[in-house]
């Protein structure tokens, strides 16, 4: 059997190295400034996947030495009650980062909740203030969406840090991944195309990419024939499918088997972007804690 040509980008390993740096930074904050960063995660309802995700966030938060505050609310919680909790967390000096787990039940308006979070504590990076800072190039003052941040860190890890002049195609235009990834790559001086469901001949657009980020939520959409030989492929998709044996498993938006024979590097699913998302959430919390106390820290 022919070995895959692509280098497998290990998100777990890169996330672990980032968490080591964060652990050191937290120790410095506690020892020199008496500041222990705190992350509050709010979960409304009892979705099993969200429960697992929130639990993992809590474990990793405490593992790097930060305070973890978990707020679990029943599925019938009103929008007013959730907004009241968010306002209380905004005022809590122990809490430097606030994350409200999405999606929310239908009786709660997601835009209202995001808008209620103090932009300085918006570690998801979804508030209009942080989105505006990212869009206008004020990235050093923004809290950047975690998955988008993790994608670019993986790309730079593989490409050696300098992405200037490379052609990047972002497949997907969500506010959570697609748009922020595009802005971050523009900041890295890439030439960026955002492709989506109305793009004509999307396969041909993807084929010109030195860097291809797939974030559309459609399993196996991107085939090996869509990929430029040697391209860096970042698969953001997390799709649950049933295999021929009737067993559920997670797959990406990229057909890994065909893509890894063409790409220069590719992220696996799971084990690629996912671990970086949580690590970047912790990073945002440390950054937020430093900014709230006007503490200068070495780059993380």
User: 259 and 168 share a domain?
Assistant: yes
Per-residue confidence (pLDDT) for residue 266, from 0 to 100: 98
Asked if the structure places residue 93 within a domain, the reply is: yes
Q: Is the pLDDT of residue 1 over 60?
A: no
* Annotated catalytic residue, options 57, 118, 210, 255: 57
Is the domain of 227 the same as that of 106? no
Q: Is the domain of 150 the same as that of 82?
A: no
Task: Give the range of the structural domain holding residue 100, as residue numbers without chain letter.
Answer: 34-118
User: Which comes out higher in pLDDT, residue 52 or 198?
Assistant: 198
Rounded-to-integer distance, Cα 86 and Cα 31, Å: 29
Residue 161: pLDDT over 90: no
Could you tell me if residue 50 is inside a domain?
yes
If asked whether residues 172 and 110 sit together in one domain, one would say: no
In the residue annotation, 201 being an active-site residue is answered as no
Q: Is 222 helix (H, G, I), strand (E, B) or coil?
A: strand
Res 299 pLDDT > 80: no
pLDDT at 246: 85
Residue 126 lies in a domain: no
pLDDT at 206: 98
292 is catalytic: no
The one catalytic residue among 101, 121, 122, 210: 101
| Per-residue confidence (pLDDT) for residue 4, from 0 to 100 | 58
Sign of CA dihedral 70, 74, 76, 78: negative
Mean pLDDT, rounded, for 107-132: 98
d(CA 111, CA 284): 21
30 is catalytic: no
165-207 confidence digits (pLDDT tens): 999 999 999 999 999 999 999 999 999 999 999 999 999 999 9
Q: Per the residue annotation, which of 60, 118, 121, 124 is the catalytic one?
A: 124
| Overall number of domains in the chain | 2
**143-153 as b/e: b if 16+ CB within 10 A:** bbbbbbbbbbb
Q: How far apart are CA 212 and CA 47, in angstroms?
A: 31
Q: Residue 221 and residue 10: Cα distance in Å, rounded?
A: 22
Quote the pTM value.
0.94
């Amino acid at each position: 059997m022919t070995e895959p040509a692509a280098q497998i980008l290990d998100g777990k390993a890169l996330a672990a190295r980032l968490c080591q740096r964060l652990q050191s930074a937290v120790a410095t904050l506690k020892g020199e400034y008496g500041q222990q960063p705190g992350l509050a995660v709010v979960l409304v309802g009892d979705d099993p996947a969200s429960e697992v995700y929130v639990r993992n966030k809590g474990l990793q938060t405490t593992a790097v030495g930060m305070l973890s505050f978990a707020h679990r609310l029943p599925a019938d919680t009103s929008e007013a009650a959730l907004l009241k909790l968010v306002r209380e967390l905004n005022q809590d000096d122990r809490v430097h980062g606030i994350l409200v787990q999405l999606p929310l039940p239908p009786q709660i308006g997601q835009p209202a909740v995001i808008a209620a979070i103090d932009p300085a504590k918006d570690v998801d990076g979804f508030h209009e203030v942080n989105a505006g800072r990212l869009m206008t190039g004020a990235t050093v003052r923004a809290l950047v969406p975690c998955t988008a941040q993790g994608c670019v860190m993986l790309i730079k890890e593989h490409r050696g840090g300098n992405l200037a002049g490379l052609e990047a195609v972002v497949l997907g235009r969500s506010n959570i991944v697609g748009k922020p990834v595009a802005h971050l790559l523009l900041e890295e001086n890439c030439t960026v195309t955002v492709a989506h469901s109305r793009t004509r001949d999307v396969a041909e657009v993807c084929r010109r990419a030195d860097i291809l980020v797939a974030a559309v939520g459609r399993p196996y959409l991107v085939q090996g024939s869509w990929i430029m030989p040697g391209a860096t492929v970042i698969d953001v998709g997390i799709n649950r499918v049933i295999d021929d044996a009737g067993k559920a498993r997670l797959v990406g938006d990229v057909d890994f088997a065909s893509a890894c024979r063409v790409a220069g590097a590719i992220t696996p699913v799971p084990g690629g972007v996912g671990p970086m998302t949580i690590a970047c959430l912790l990073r945002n919390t440390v950054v937020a804690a430093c900014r709230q106390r006007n503490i200068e820290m070495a780059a993380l």
